[in-house]
């Protein structure tokens, strides 16, 4: 049996006129995140952690932000495609632990929906998915509400 960990990080800038999508859930807010896809910063960190864990590059290599096919695409679709790659390489996901770095909006009320959405896209029980949120204590660019960041750690297993 092989056990691997993976680490993911992402950040996106706030802009007006776009929906804020975190973990596949639309969060009511005055601004959304700028990006080629739906700019779901949480799912991008999860995807990068998964590719890191299986040693297969990163989100940019698998889903280039220059590809018209991924313009405005739901990152839930990208995560499901990532899981197809993970499973076909013989790996299964033990758990995912993620942290959102956001001064605003308040995310606590949305955490149950975000957790359920991420677990569903991963195809694993909610009990194996953790999503947390922290403010930056008003420090730095994220603390000035310029955008949102996300960190993610995953553990994957292979029986090979």
Among 82, 106, 78, CA closest to 154: 82
Could you tell me which residues come within 8 angstroms of residue 145 by beta carbon, excluding any fewer than 6 positions away? 14, 103, 104
Q: Which is nearer to Mg ion, 44 or 115 (CB)?
A: 44
User: Closest separation between CB of residue 47 and Mg ion, Å?
Assistant: 9
**Given the rule CB under 5 A, which of 39-47, 71-79, 116-124, 152-160 is the region that contacts Mg ion?**
39-47
**Given the rule CB under 5 A, which of 6-14, 103-111, 121-129, 134-142 is the region that contacts Mg ion?**
6-14
Position 10 contacts Mg ion (CB under 5 A)? yes
User: Closest separation between CB of residue 36 and Mg ion, Å?
Assistant: 8
Position 44 contacts Mg ion (CB under 5 A)? yes
**Given the rule CB under 5 A, which of 3-11, 24-32, 63-71, 77-85 is the region that contacts Mg ion?**
3-11
Total binding residues toward Mg ion, as defined by CB under 5 A = 2
As given in the structure block, the two tokens for residue 78 are 């990208």
Q: Which is nearer to Mg ion, 10 or 103 (CB)?
A: 10
Q: Which is nearer to Mg ion, 44 or 110 (CB)?
A: 44
Binding site for Mg ion (CB under 5 A): 10, 44
């Amino acid at each position: 049996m092989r056990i691997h960990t993976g680490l993911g990080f992402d950040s996106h800038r706030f802009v007006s006129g776009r929906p804020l999508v975190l973990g596949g859930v639309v969060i009511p807010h005055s601004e959304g995140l700028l990006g080629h896809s739906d700019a779901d910063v949480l799912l991008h960190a999860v995807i990068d952690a998964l590719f890191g864990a299986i040693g297969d590059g990163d989100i940019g290599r698998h889903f280039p932000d220059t590809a018209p096919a991924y313009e405005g695409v739901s990152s839930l679709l990208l995560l499901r495609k990532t899981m197809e790659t993970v499973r076909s390489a013989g790996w299964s996901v033990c758990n995912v632990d993620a942290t959102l770095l956001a001064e605003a909006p308040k995310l606590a009320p949305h955490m149950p929906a975000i957790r359920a959405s991420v677990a569903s896209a991963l195809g694993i029980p909610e009990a194996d998915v953790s999503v947390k949120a922290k403010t930056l204590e008003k420090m730095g660019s994220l603390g000035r509400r310029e955008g949102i960041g996300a960190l993610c750690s995953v553990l994957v297993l292979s029986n090979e």
